Structure 1
Amino acid sequence: MDKFKLELFFTILGIGATSGLVFENNSLFLISDSSSFLYAYNVKNEKLDKIKLFENSQQNIVKKDKPDFESITLVGDSILILGSGSTEKRMVSAFYDTRTKKSVTTDLTDLFEKICESTEVDKKNLNIEGVVSYQNNWLLFQRGNGLANQNGIFVLAESFANPSHINYVPIILPKEKGVHATFTDAVLVDNKIYFLAAAEDSNSTYEDGDVLGSWIGTLNPDNFEIEFTEKISDALKFEGLTVYKNSKSEISFLLCEDNDSEILKADIYELTIKKTTR
């Protein structure tokens, strides 16, 4: 293995357009940007369960009506899921308790409006693709694929629902054929943030474009300085990562791909990086 090793790990039938995932206790929880279910895949017995987040949860929701779930993270024994905020119907969150098996959904319109009012990112360019809790702050990863190319991190101080202060930190990522890569997910590992980014030839948070590649990178969560980036694919658009294995010498992630298709099939990849190469 040189700097990294990327390989197809397994395929899950019954879910498509995967946009985020969390691995915990042999269970892989997944979201799809065209569905209002949370999916739980048991890696050992290869069983996929659908968990209703709404009373009328659906698969393959038409683009104009979908909640566009793009961000997922583990919070204690619960899973937090966020809509992207790129349209009025995408300003919603779901909180699923893995012990009680119950979910609560919340309208985030007021929060997203506060984010836009507190920063220079307007509603037309808002597109949240990742969420990380770090110390007393919540970090929301803004994908800068709108016309304004505003790629960066919203820092919500002290509280997710009612932050005492909201700051925005612009982040510039590598270019491919004149198109900047933009955030598609992030996860905290050993006080370091690993992020995914993709370059897509489109100036819209709504319409898809030609995929120009995907990157893995790390940044310091205290000063938001980029520590390294590495292109991992020329053609695939990876939109979710979660820690699979973590040792002193290397770290492995599971990645999911958004294939922008209605086919209910999810390819899960394993990405392994030697820590000595960073």
Structure 2
Amino acid sequence: MEKFQLTVLFKIIGIGSASGLLYHNDLLYIISDNSTYLYEYNIANEKLNKIPLVENAQENIPKKDKPDFESITFYGDAIAILGSGSTKKRNLSFQYNIEADSVKQNDIADLYQKIKHQLNFSDDEFNIEGFIMNKKNLFLFQRGNGTEGKNGIISVYNSRNKSEIGFTIFNLPKIKNVPATFTDAILVDDKIYFLASAEDTTSTYLDGEVLGSIIGTIDLKTMKLENSIQISDKHKFEGLTLYKKTATQIELLLCEDNDTEELVSTIYKLVLKKQ
């Protein structure tokens, strides 16, 4: 992963604080951590569609009230979205069925509380920034930017109406002496591609100075870090999706949370050479 190419692919007017994205059939689905819309951007004709997830959907919701959507992935035929769980108002999940154009809302506070209880997470430490699903199993990417520094993957293995919860700690490389912590992840075959950023703060709630971002890979079967590389010294990349792949390289799309009220989101393309 020594060789990479990072370029600006395009900018989207009408979305601010982008925190996750999902590419599917030339459409780019985007979530924002301070909005209750799911955004659908048609790359070919450059048109933006806003899908309300709740009644009276809003943008630029104040920090204390925002649902803090940080995670997006496919769940069967639907798009699944999770709140970070970092406050009581951030415990919602949504499923958007593309074909039916319908939205289903769930409260996942009980699941988050069960995880925190079993893994001894304090309310101030818990902060989910990405998730993937593999068969019946759920993998949540805990950003360890709190005071306890618990950065890792929470595994929820489901079988015969029972669930087993585990936690694998990942101590990622430091940027300017600050550890990088997870901000998103996707599954490509049996390999996890993840983003992580270093931010000069020990709070899951308050933002700090952005010091840069890395990308890396983890083997899903062994839960071992394979490699990583720093791709920026100024961007806080928070969204990651597969764009294209060949036998020799993989192309990913990235978005960043600019922590402003400006409704403009830059989409980046990252090209990595396969090892």
Band of TM-score, shorter chain: over 0.9
Give the alignment's TM-score, normalised by structure 2. 0.97
Consecutive unaligned residues in structure 2, runs of 5 or more: none
Query: Could you say which residue in structure 1 is the equivalent of 2:203?
Result: 204
Distance across 2 between alignment mates of 1:163 and 1:74: 23
Note if 1:30 corresponds to 2:23.
no
CA contact (8 A) 1:211 1:237 kept: yes
CA contact (8 A) 2:85 2:126 kept: yes
Distance across 2 between alignment mates of 1:143 and 1:58: 26
Query: Could you say which residue in structure 1 is the equivalent of 2:192?
Result: 193
Distance across 2 between alignment mates of 1:217 and 1:165: 26
CA contact (8 A) 2:2 2:229 kept: no
Query: Could you say which residue in structure 1 is the equivalent of 2:20?
Result: 20
Distance across 2 between alignment mates of 1:176 and 1:240: 19
CA contact (8 A) 1:156 1:163 kept: no
CA contact (8 A) 2:190 2:221 kept: no
Distance across 1 between alignment mates of 2:76 and 2:249: 25
Distance across 2 between alignment mates of 1:141 and 1:121: 14
Matches within 5 A, 1:63-212: 63-158=63-158, 164-212=163-211
CA contact (8 A) 1:6 1:271 kept: yes
Task: Name the amino acid aligned to 1:37.
Answer: Y
Task: Tell me the percent identity.
Answer: 53
SS at match of 2:163: coil
CA shift for structure 1 position 130:
0.5
CA contact (8 A) 1:18 1:257 kept: yes
CA shift for structure 1 position 135:
3.7
Matches within 5 A, 1:223-242: 223-242=222-241
Task: Name the amino acid aligned to 1:166.
Answer: I
Note if 1:251 corresponds to 2:243.
no
Question: Which of structure 1's runs of 4+ aligned residues deviate more than 4 A?
Answer: none
CA shift for structure 1 position 44:
0.3
Distance across 1 between alignment mates of 2:273 and 2:248: 6
Give the alignment's TM-score, normalised by structure 1. 0.96
CA shift for structure 1 position 2:
6.6
